Structure 1
Amino acid sequence: MQNSKWVDVAIVGAGLAGITCGQTLRQSGYTVAILEKSRGLGGRVATRRLMATCADHGAKFVEPQGEQTQQLIQQLCDRQLLQPWTAPIWTVDAAGTLTPTEPTPRYVAPEGMTAIAKVLAEGLDIRRQQRVVEIKSIDAQTWEFTTDSGEALPLQARSLVLAIPAPQAVPLLEPLVAKGLPTAVLETVRKAMFDPCITAIATYPAEQAAAWHRVGALQPLQHPVLRWVSRESQKRSMPGHEVCVLHSTPAFATQYIDAPTLETAGRAMLQAGAAWFPGMEKPQQLQLHRWRYGFARSPDPMLEPLPHAKTPIPLVITGDWCRGSNLESAVEAGVRAASLLEQWLNSGHD
């Protein structure tokens, strides 16, 4: 393809795993391009802008989960992008008993959780709103990409990382079996399982929260509808209004995940939350988001090494679902994918 940009590594997906992989490779001297289907980046490290503030409608906070997240927390705190979150978090059991959770180090981003992704992505070539629907190996030397517009991208790469949920990777991988991709790689990716989640972001007048002062966040246990409710005003200043984020259970989300509109689901979630937060069923504004691949079910055992193939051209599949289902898993999976590719690129694919 004439006038194509040629890179060492193309990465499909700008979630934490993809960004971490790309940044690791870039810092090792490789040329990298990341293709992302949406306008944002960070995947489930997501922030919704509303009114004069924002709400985290994906990852709720950051906590030390291992070496990778400890380093990340330190890096972001040094840049004053994270701050400790000390608001009380309570659990509520099936009998309605509220119990405070043990205080543990938790951190939030005053500017929203996407600040994490933006830092990790600094200096990377990220092409947004590029939904890849087909990948091809050209003469067993380079990868080429077609988007949902039907056009081939002016980009060629000598290796590829798919850093997207496994169900989205499968249709990209299936045609490659005839080109030499080992069937075992495709079958490993097919086995990955995910649970859906519906998220509601609800806005209220500031005075509505007068009866909610005890709780910064609530974690219902064995509840049929909700698995998390948080007050975003406990994370950052929200003068004049209150914002709550509610996450559904997988079972509840499964009922509505393919519905044309999520309005009914959202109203049911607010009605459930009103059992603990009086007046929650009457928001000023309600926004809804469906996470079709909201929570990865941890592989057992976790995939080690990551699904990969050297033929027809170097390819690695990665994501938090390869290692677990949290931020530590995502960052670790990205680092491991970069390490594997570096070995191949340094050895001429042998």
Structure 2
Amino acid sequence: MAQWDVGVVGAGLSGLTAARQLTQDGWSVLVLDKSRGLGGRVATRRVQGTGVDHGCRFMQPWGLGPGFGWAQAQSQGWLQPWNPVEFELSQAGLLSPRPAQGPYYVAAEGMSSLAKVLAQGLEIQRLCRVEQLIPRAEGWQLQVESQPEALGEVTVRTVLLALPAPQIPPLLTAALPLFPELGEWLEPLGEVVFDPVITVMAGYGADTVPRLGEDATTAATGWMVTAQEPSPLWWAALDSSKRLVAAHPVVVLHSHAQFAASHLEAADLTPVGQQLLEQAAHNLAPWLGDPHWMQVHRWRYGLVRQPLPSPFLSTAAVPTLVGCGDWCGGQDGAAAIASGQAAASHLAQWLQTHS
């Protein structure tokens, strides 16, 4: 007999959204994630007492179903409007204002706090890496490696894989010879394309005036820049403007995919980060080149370039296995949430029919 109705692999936005919805519907759900924290690419790093969003930049409401509850998210303080002054860096390296593309919503405590809200009331095993999925008569057996205690094997009726698409096929290598229908299930994953991103977090002195362009108010309201290639920069923003109280200015830079791909395997990312900061100082504002501190992060699966057209991955031949994420039907955090909602509804329908 299966221990849980649903095993959710991955505690990012999509997996947590699905797990929350299924739990509220009355199904028993276990979430497993290899990391210590929650949220996946909805990531906030604490640096010198300040939260820095080095993953998901913001949320926008496009395409979300009513189950997410924007009104509740704002009334309870999960998300607040963010209204930065927007700029564009042209191919020629010219910085100019652009019309606002919002609305944008952010979490004042950092975007990862949204994952913590979604995780409330869920049964979650962290530091738990799923190695293989094995089909069984009662559903699926999850072979896991966990810390600090060995969780051993987990049996579930259905599985929801809320992971970047390239991380899914290795989990099914042992199952494929036993369940040839998985070949059809796996095939669409080859269509999904992710781009890598190099991210720089930089902090500046409290006496720094973090303005951009000719508008002095940008130091207080915040700013963001979207850059066109051939610049190695893709996006930059005054991240500290998202906080209710910021002790000092903090800027986050994200690279274009081509630049990230050329430096992704670098043993030391510090020179890579310095290169991006120098580019920002040259194109955006000189003060950006003189931070008090800097950290660099590589995202191997940073952004979805080519998603699947459907909101989740499923086949009639393998109804108990579903994939979801920002790579299903979209390319951002809102798509991840919408995919989790759709995948949860699909699994709930199957569970109801087979209960």
TM over 0.5: yes
Aligned to 2:119: 121
The counterpart of 1:298, out of the listed 300, 306, 320, is 306
Q: Structure 2: state its 5+ residue gaps.
A: none
AA in 1 matched with 2:91: A
Shift of 1:6: 1.2
AA in 1 matched with 2:236: V
Task: Report whether the alignment pairs 1:21 with 2:18.
Answer: yes
Shift of 1:112: 0.7
2:168 match: secondary structure: helix
Indicate the larger mover: 27-36 or 68-77.
Answer: 68-77
Q: Deviations over 1:17-51 (max 9, x none)?
A: 10111111101100001001111111221111111
Q: Cα 1:308–1:282, aligned 2, differ >3 Å: closer, same or farther?
A: farther
Aligned to 2:255: 248
1:175 match: secondary structure: coil
CA–CA distance in 1 between the matches of 2:106 and 2:138? 45
Indicate the larger mover: 186-195 or 67-76.
Answer: 67-76
CA–CA distance in 1 between the matches of 2:150 and 2:259? 38
Q: Structure 1: state its 5+ residue gaps.
A: none
TM-score (norm 1): 0.90
AA in 1 matched with 2:279: A
Q: Cα 1:70–1:227, aligned 2, differ >3 Å: closer, same or farther?
A: farther
Q: Cα 1:247–1:336, aligned 2, differ >3 Å: closer, same or farther?
A: same
The counterpart of 2:289, out of the listed 281, 294, 297, is 281
Q: Deviations over 1:260-294 (max 9, x none)?
A: 22112111111111121213223211111111001
Note the 1:19-168 alignment, pairs <5 A. Answer: 19-68=16-65, 71-103=68-100, 104-139=102-137, 141-147=139-145, 153-168=152-167
Note the 1:179-190 alignment, pairs <5 A. Answer: 179-180=178-179, 181-190=181-190
Indicate if the aligned counterparts of 2:81 and 2:103 stay in contact, CA closer than 8 A.
yes
Aligned to 1:344: 350
Shift of 1:325: 0.7
RMSD: 2.4
Query: What is the aligned residue count?
Result: 344
Indicate if the aligned counterparts of 1:196 and 1:250 stay in contact, CA closer than 8 A.
yes
2:276 match: secondary structure: helix
Indicate if the aligned counterparts of 1:143 and 1:159 stay in contact, CA closer than 8 A.
no
Shift of 1:78: 0.9
Shift of 1:308: 4.0
Identity in percent: 37
Aligned to 2:169: 170
AA in 1 matched with 2:294: L
Indicate if the aligned counterparts of 2:39 and 2:112 stay in contact, CA closer than 8 A.
yes
CA–CA distance in 2 between the matches of 1:223 and 1:47? 28
Indicate if the aligned counterparts of 1:5 and 1:154 stay in contact, CA closer than 8 A.
no
The counterpart of 2:277, out of the listed 270, 283, 295, is 270
Q: Cα 1:137–1:172, aligned 2, differ >3 Å: closer, same or farther?
A: same
Indicate if the aligned counterparts of 1:182 and 1:309 stay in contact, CA closer than 8 A.
no
AA in 2 matched with 1:298: Q
Indicate the larger mover: 65-74 or 215-224.
Answer: 65-74
Q: Cα 1:221–1:69, aligned 2, differ >3 Å: closer, same or farther?
A: farther
Indicate if the aligned counterparts of 1:224 and 1:251 stay in contact, CA closer than 8 A.
no
CA–CA distance in 2 between the matches of 1:202 and 1:250? 20
Shift of 1:154: 4.9
CA–CA distance in 2 between the matches of 1:15 and 1:241? 29
Shift of 1:81: 2.5
Shift of 1:145: 2.1
